[in-house]
């Protein structure tokens, strides 16, 4: 399912929401300059440099890099062991302190479809959440949501060497806040059913509720969302962000608009 638009008007222009979208696209273009492509996204080196790797976050002094055997490049793997990296001629210095990747990873995306999908959700739902709390509170809410999302993923898989990238966790916090603020808002949604698709209007509670159930099921099955370039946002990050949004929205939101009637009243 992909949202197209909702029926909630805003009173203020969503400055931060738009700025975040622009920033994400700028970062995406910058990260594909050295070996990446517009469609498939940044190469593995960039993903490992700026993505958040749970093992690097939970083990002091750990540096992760990709190692590919000379005789079998397809067998490349990510190593986070200093001795193994040194044996392969890879310096053991951290390109970035792990705590910085908590934030840089929020602006990294693995492919053009990854960033387009994330920014679509951010634009449709972020403008109303920003309108409910103002720009300053919203940027704090957004970043804390991203941190909470990554935190749950690290707790679930503290020794994982898979880089976590993307704004999905922070955006999940926005969705969690939106569903509490405006559960009865209507969302025009593009729905794919095997080879067919249709456009229907769904209550936000239904549309975002289905989205969350999907994340919970995929997380329970220990699946991750492939995003190209060797990186991805784990489904547990979505769950963590969504949970933060549900728990924190009442602390940040200062006003709530009335949902417009579905049929005009004369």
Determine, yes or no, domain membership for 89.
no
Least trusted range by pLDDT, from 42-51, 80-89, 198-207, 239-248: 80-89
Confidence of residue 69 (pLDDT cuts 50, 70, 90): low
Q: Whole-angstrom distance between the N-terminal and C-terminal Cα of the chain?
A: 33
Q: What is the CATH number of the domain that holds 210?
A: 1.20.1540.10
| Domain annotation covers residue 266 | no
Residue 188 lies in a domain: yes
At 5, give phi and psi (nearest 5°).
-165, 160
pLDDT tops 50 at residue 232: no
Question: How far apart (Å, rounded) are the C-alpha atoms in residues 218 and 215?
Answer: 5
pLDDT digits (tens, 9 = 90+) for 15-33: 999 999 999 999 999 999 8
Task: Name the token pair of 60.
Answer: 């002091």
Question: Residue 235 is part of which domain span?
Answer: 2-59+98-252
Assigned domain for 70 exists: no
Residue 191 lies in a domain: yes
- Look at residue 248 in the predicted model and tell me its pLDDT: 97
Q: Please tell me which residue, 140 or 57, carries the higher pLDDT value.
A: 140
> Considering its fold, how many domains does the chain have in total?
1
Question: Considering the domain boundaries, does residue 182 fall inside one?
Answer: yes
Residue 264 lies in a domain: no
Write the pLDDT tens digit of every residue in 155-177.
988 988 888 899 999 999 999 99
Question: Which tens digits make up the pLDDT trace of 88-122?
Answer: 566 555 567 888 999 999 999 989 999 999 999 99
Q: Give the pLDDT mean for 120-130.
A: 96
């Amino acid at each position: 399912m992909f949202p197209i638009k909702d029926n909630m008007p805003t009173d203020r222009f969503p400055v931060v929401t738009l700025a975040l979208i622009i920033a994400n696209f700028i970062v995406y273009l910058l990260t594909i300059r050295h070996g990446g492509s517009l469609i498939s996204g940044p190469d593995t080196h960039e993903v490992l440099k700026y993505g958040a790797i749970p093992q690097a976050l939970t083990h002091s002094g750990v540096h992760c890099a990709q190692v590919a055997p000379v005789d079998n490049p397809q067998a490349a793997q990510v190593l986070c062991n200093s001795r193994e990296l040194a044996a392969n001629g890879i310096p053991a210095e951290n390109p970035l302190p792990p705590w910085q990747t908590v934030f840089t990873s929020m602006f990294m995306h693995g492919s053009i479809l990854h960033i387009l999908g994330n920014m679509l959700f951010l634009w449709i739902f972020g403008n109303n959440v920003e309108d409910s709390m103002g720009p300053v509170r919203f940027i704090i809410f957004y970043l804390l949501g991203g941190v909470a999302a990554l935190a749950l993923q690290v707790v679930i898989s503290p020794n994982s060497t898979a880089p976590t990238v993307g704004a999905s966790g922070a955006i999940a916090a926005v969705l969690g806040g939106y569903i509490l603020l405006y559960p009865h808002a209507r969302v025009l949604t593009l729905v794919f059913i095997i080879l067919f698709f249709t456009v229907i209007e769904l209550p936000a509670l239904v549309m975002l509720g289905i989205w969350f159930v999907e994340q919970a099921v995929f997380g329970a099955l220990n699946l991750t969302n492939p995003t190209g370039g060797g990186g991805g946002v784990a489904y547990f990050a979505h769950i963590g962000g969504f949970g933060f949004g549900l728990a924190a929205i009442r602390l940040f939101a200062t006003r709530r608009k009335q949902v417009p009637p579905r049929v005009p009243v004369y």
